[in-house]
Amino acid sequence: MATPLQQPPQAGGGKRKGKAQYVQAKRARRSDGGGPRQLEPGLQGILITCNMNERKCVEEAYSLLNEYGDDLYGPEKQFTDKDEQPSENEGEDDDVETALKKEVGDIKASTEMRLRRFQSVESGANNVVFIRTLGIEPEKLVHHILQDMYKTKKKKTRVILRMLPISGTCKAFLEDMKKYAETFLEPWFKAPNKGTFQIVYKSRNNSHMNREEVIKELAGIVGSLNSENKVDLTSPQYTVVVEIIKAVCCLSVVKDYILFRKYNLQEVVKNAKDPSQLHPKQAAQARNGQEAKLESGDKSDQNDPEEKNNQQAVLENSEELEQSKPMSETQVVTEGGTKPELASEVTEGSESNENDLS
């Protein structure tokens, strides 16, 4: 009977490396281009959501951002090898300390040269891509992209859903966010600057932050910067975007958030008045609804004059009854003859608007 073969012992007698060590080594090789490889406090960039295809999303993002980035800021500067390598005779006559300082400076300079204008980093959430930016204004670039797509109605992406500029990042803890927001929000809301605003909040892979508490604190900071800053949930001048991923809070202040369909690249190119942009079933329902309205209008025009007079008399009698009916104490009289509202409904509506500003 053949004996089973024994595996030769490993060199050095050590244990096999774990999977985590291989992953770290792979990430280290991928970070040769310089800069951070994951989302962390202190970064600026663009947060992009996609539909189950992050690799394709990154490719589309690079193509779109480079196209409009070159349009706004000119072509990206390319560094040559001569710029990166120091001269051979440099530092020969200097002492060791000076030579060491120069070497460290050369390493930092070469790292900065390798940094690209747009660089994808790990976001920490599924279906979310974060593109770190360097030397540009994220709000200006993204607004320029959406404005052009809104005007031309030309679809340029397939998997990218929303594209949100991120002007600042900090630790996702309430005290850190409050301290950071006091300075971050000044360019838009500190007197003499003012405007109407709303706050939109989204949290991913984070369980220790409370939505209502964050919105309340940020709204209080905006109000303290200028008492004329008012909340407007229908057509605000500014929208404060709060995106929390794990332990990092991403902040930005954007314009035309409602006009550009919440910065959704798939929706901003659609024309709501154009039936061709609707789903076939929705378009059929819209046509059926219009035909039904036309038929009802034709039938109403064919009614006898006596029936119209009877309807008018019924309306007049109902108006007289409403005028003679006493008003209850729980109703609130509004100006302009509008329909009175219940006081309980008014208080509930005001409380909900104060608590939910997104």
Reported as a single tens digit per residue, the pLDDT across 274-324 is 444 445 555 555 555 555 554 555 544 454 555 445 445 444 444 444 444
Q: What is the largest CA-CA distance in the chain?
A: 113
Sequence-distant (6+) residues with CB within 8 A of 162 are 48, 49, 262, 263, 264, 265
User: Would you call 223 helix, strand, or coil by DSSP?
Assistant: helix
User: Would you call 340 helix, strand, or coil by DSSP?
Assistant: coil
Cβ(247)–Cβ(206) below 8 Å: yes
63 confidence band (pLDDT: 50, 70, 90): very high
Whole-number average pLDDT of the chain? 75
Q: How far is CA 303 from CA 309, 314, 317, in A?
A: 11, 16, 21
How many angstroms separate the CA atoms of 47 and 163, rounded?
Answer: 6
**pLDDT computed for residue 99 by the predictor:** 80
**pLDDT computed for residue 348 by the predictor:** 42
C-alpha torsion sign, points 47, 53, 54, 57: negative
C-alpha torsion sign, points 223, 225, 228, 230: negative
**pLDDT computed for residue 291 by the predictor:** 52
185 confidence band (pLDDT: 50, 70, 90): very high
**pLDDT computed for residue 290 by the predictor:** 54
Helical H runs in 6-115? 19-30, 54-73, 81-84, 96-114
51 confidence band (pLDDT: 50, 70, 90): confident
- Name the DSSP letter for residue 263: G
As given in the structure block, the two tokens for residue 65 are 């951002």
- CA angle 128/35/80 to nearest 5° reads 120
How many angstroms separate the CA atoms of 175 and 173, rounded?
Answer: 6
Sequence-distant (6+) residues with CB within 8 A of 52 are 127, 159
- Name the DSSP letter for residue 228: T
**pLDDT computed for residue 349 by the predictor:** 41
How many angstroms separate the CA atoms of 159 and 129, rounded?
Answer: 12
Tell me the sheet residues that pair with 204: 245
- Pairing mode, strands 331-332 and 341-342: antiparallel
**Mutual angle of helices 138-152 and 54-73, in 10-degree steps:** 100
User: Checking phi first, is residue 217 left (phi over 0); if not, alpha (psi -120 to 50) or beta?
Assistant: alpha
**pLDDT computed for residue 116 by the predictor:** 85
Among residues 68, 109, 65, which one has the least CA distance to residue 86? 109
